[in-house]
Amino acid sequence: MSKVKTDIELAKLFSEEIYENYKTALEFLRENPDYSLLKFRKIIESLCALIADKFVVEFSSDSLFELINTLERSEVINRNTKNLFHDLRILCNNGVHGNNVSSTNDDITFIEEVKSLCIKKAESARKLIVKLYEDIYLLLGYGKSISQVELVDYSLYEFKQLIFDATVSLTYQAKLKAGIAYETIAQQATIGMPLVVENSFQLHHHGLLKLAASHYYTALRLSFEESLYRSDTSKAYLYCDVESLFRYAVIATSGVLGEDKFDEGFKLVKIAADRGYNEAIAFYGAYLFDEERFEESKDYLTRAIKVDSAMANRYLFYFYTEIKLDKNLAKKHLQKAIELGCCDSIGELGILYHKGFIVDKDIDKAEVLLLEAIGKGSYVAKRYHIVEFNDLVGQMQKGAQDFLAEFDKAFEQVQNEIAEAKPKPIKAEKINRNSSCPCGSKKKYKKCCGGNIVELKKENIKLNIFSQ
């Protein structure tokens, strides 16, 4: 019976690469579960290669789906292990999580809910990985039986430890992890911030990204120093760690490192893509599409779908709906992206049913799909459901019209009330000088109050004469 006690120890039995990827996945599971899922997927690929080497199985495709099925067709793994592989593959598909952030309380809650769902997804993937470890442990003959292993508490891992390790370690892996930690902190800092931010926050945010880029660049240089080509610095980008290269390049393309690094960033993304880094192939294909270099984009996206890229399938859906209309191919790629776990693509299908574009219009089905996508974390679907599906603009316009009508009515009422409240002029009746004085003295008006008015007028006339 095996003396392995923990899942970390079990991972180390297979290879150093699998061990490092598994440990890294646990280190980021709480704060960046997307990255953990990416590492779990790398482990699945490595396990397939390990089994193929052991039993001399040749693969004819780079698609993980085909790799797994080839192992079963070769009778190397049984159906249960194949199903376990596929369950993991679906959980870990890359390119399925968005990083859209917004400043409203509702959107902040939504982002937190999406992160919580992703953590649960990563935790499920971890448990399946351990089951797969146990199956392959027996398959490769590492032992006749294996006792249940203990899952290490991943909550013990903290970013501050990763950052500290990077300050004292000379390994490129430590620098890479610190870079990802800084980048994750930068992404989290944007949640809850308004569209217009103070200069102090911008300096803080850009500073974090620059720290991430600095660590990525150091990682790629250190990894190149470990290569056989370290004497020729012109080949640094061709033989360094490709993940470090890609992550540095992506930050450069954001413009944070300056205009001189912007164009260089896309050149480095292309190098990473041409070296076969899956995320870079899809990213560069999407970039070319946005630059309207559609045929070049199609070439890279077509390469990326061979390794099950949800992003590439989604962009090919855009290609066949916006550039070269082909309803069948458009639906094929959108459906594939959905199968690969892309929640935004579920939302896109809901939008199609709502608009009646390339599919028959079906409002009920559209809402079901949009709500399903929202439940799985699609901000694209959430925004469309609020703004377009529920006609937020129309409601706002109607609300504005109703408000103006009520305002006009209220304004008119106030004007009427003001007019009513104005003092009315008093009309004095002229008194005959020989009539009784109205003061009640029983004298004639001219001998009483009327006489006083005459005297007052005479005094005013005198004053006016002397003042001239």
219-263 residue pLDDT tens: 999 999 999 999 999 999 999 999 999 999 999 999 999 998 999
Instruction: For 364-378, write each residue's pLDDT tens digit.
Output: 999 999 999 988 878
CATH H superfamily, domain 276-340? Tetratricopeptide repeat domain (1.25.40.10)
Residue 102, CB-side half-sphere exposure with 13 Å CA sphere: 13
At residue 6, φ and ψ (nearest 5 deg) are: -120, 165
Residue 350: the pLDDT is 94
Q: Are 3 and 143 in contact (CB under 8 A)?
A: no
Q: Which of 10-14, 26-30, 307-311 has the lowest mean pLDDT?
A: 307-311
Are 345 and 317 spatial neighbours (Cβ–Cβ below 8 Å)?
yes
> Residues 130-180: pLDDT tens digits?
999 999 999 999 988 888 889 998 877 888 899 999 999 999 999 999 999
Q: What pLDDT does residue 97 have?
A: 43
Q: Give yes or no for residue 459 having a pLDDT over 60.
A: no
Contacts of 31 (CB under 8 A, 6+ apart): 159, 181, 184, 188
Mean pLDDT of all residues in 66-72: 94
- Mean pLDDT, the chain, integer: 85
Asked if 162 and 32 count as a contact pair (C-beta separation under 8 A), the reply is no
Tell me phi and psi for residue 102, to 5 degrees.
-145, 170
Mean pLDDT of 458-463: 48
pLDDT tens per residue across span 92-124: 874 444 444 444 445 567 667 777 888 899 999
pLDDT top residue among 202 and 270: 270
> How far is residue 188's CA from residue 212's CA, in Å, rounded to a whole number?
14
With a pLDDT cut of 70, the percent of the chain lying above it is 82
pLDDT of 23 above 60 = yes
At 295-310, the pLDDT tens digits run: 999 999 999 998 888 9
Sign of the alpha-carbon torsion through 318, 319, 323, 328: negative
pLDDT at residue number 387: 83
Average pLDDT over residues 183-187: 90
Q: What is the mean pLDDT of residues 399-426?
A: 64
Q: Which of 176-190, 227-241, 438-452 has the highest mean pLDDT?
A: 227-241
Structure tokens at 425: 């002029």
Rounded Cα distance, 124 and 270, in Å:
34
How many CA atoms lie within 13 Å of 366's alpha carbon, on the beta-carbon side? 18
Phi, psi of 158 (to 5 degrees): -130, 150
Mean pLDDT of 354-369: 93
Mean pLDDT of all residues in 428-449: 71
